[in-house]
Amino acid sequence: MTRKAGPGYADPDHDLSVDWLAAHDAVAAAQATQADATSQARVLVIIGSARNDGSCPGEISKSFRLARWMTGELQGQGMAVDTYQAPSPLKLMIDRLVCGDGGNPDPSSTHGKKAEEAKELEQKDWGYPQHLAGRAYGLMVHGDVAGIEGSRRSLSDWLDWMGLIDSGQPVLLDRFIGYYEPYATSHAALDLDVRCSRRRATWRWRWRTRPRNCAPAPWPLCSPG
């Protein structure tokens, strides 16, 4: 079912899906709520691991446990928390956010997905929307052998490029848990990782102070050991 785009669109006579229009209005309302400093802070916790208790070796991932802990701590601070699991490959989640970041808010300007019209619009100095710019983010990347720093840098570089704002170095974490140890004891290694627990406490403190305007804030001291 469609209806005419109407006033405010590049081509008011273009037929737009009523479902698309409803989604457009819902996104606009959510954007207005997010920009309202008096509204409840919301945090999206994304689990980047594909492992679950139905896959080998038959138990949940450490990433899932970390996300559950983090969610509980954030909710304890009065924040609304949504969770999202990015199953196999993480690239699927990245594609969704890229589309959400630069999606065309007026499909009548290209009459749907006509490539030539889209290219022409782009060459007319079309302003890239960056719908997600200004939101704060943090990262926790863990592994047991190699690759954690490269993965964390790739993700943070991509989020920075989209205009999101990192919440500071202490919440851009790459961490070995159970380094070169058997997988069978990896969950026990996570439980014993006191420094990782302290980092989770830092996440809780950091998100409590920076949910809305991402202003710099002082860090709590944390002694080693």
Residues 46 and 29 placed together within one structural domain of the fold: no
Residues 146 and 202 placed together within one structural domain of the fold: yes
Kindly write down the DSSP assignment for every residue of 35-59, as one continuous string. H-TTSPPEEEEEE-----TTSTTSS
- Report the CATH number at residue 50: 3.40.50
| Contacts with 44 (C-beta within 8 Å, 6 or more apart), sequence order | 81, 82, 83, 84
Residues 79 and 181 placed together within one structural domain of the fold: yes
Residues 80 and 131 placed together within one structural domain of the fold: yes
pLDDT of 221: 35
Q: Which of 77-91, 167-181, 211-225 is modeled with the greatest confidence?
A: 167-181
Q: Is 198 inside any structural domain?
A: yes
Chain segment 56-109, per-residue pLDDT in tens? 666 778 888 888 888 888 888 888 888 766 555 566 777 777 776 777 778 888
Q: Is 148 inside any structural domain?
A: yes
Chain segment 147-160, per-residue pLDDT in tens? 888 888 888 888 88
Above pLDDT 90, what percent of the chain?
A: 5
Residues 15 and 63 placed together within one structural domain of the fold: no
Residues 132 and 31 placed together within one structural domain of the fold: no
Q: Is 223 inside any structural domain?
A: no
How many CB atoms within 10 Å of residue 50? 14
Which pTM value belongs to this model? 0.58
CA 45/CA 167 separation, integer angstroms: 14
Residues 80 and 156 placed together within one structural domain of the fold: yes
DSSP symbol at 109? G
pLDDT of 193: 79
CA proximity to 138, closest of 173, 92, 93: 173
Instruction: Say if residue 211's pLDDT is above 60.
Output: no
Q: Which secondary-structure segment (H or E) carries 218?
A: none
Q: Is 44 inside any structural domain?
A: yes
DSSP symbol at 85? E
Q: Is 220 inside any structural domain?
A: no
pLDDT of 62: 82
Residue 217 in 3-state DSSP? Answer: coil
Residues 122 and 189 placed together within one structural domain of the fold: yes
Could you check whether the bond before residue 170 is cis, i.e. omega within 30 degrees of 0? no
Residues 126 and 90 placed together within one structural domain of the fold: yes
Rounded to 10 deg, the angle between the 194-209 and 62-76 helix axes is 40
Residues 80 and 159 placed together within one structural domain of the fold: yes
Q: Is 221 inside any structural domain?
A: no
| Structure-token match 């840098």, residue found | 153
Q: Which domain holds residue 30?
A: 1-38
Residues 180 and 128 placed together within one structural domain of the fold: yes
Domain count, the chain: 2
pLDDT of 216: 38
Convert 159-189 to b/e letters by CB count within 10 Å (16 or more is b). Answer: beebebbebbebbbbbbbbbeeeeeeebbeb
Residues 138 and 28 placed together within one structural domain of the fold: no
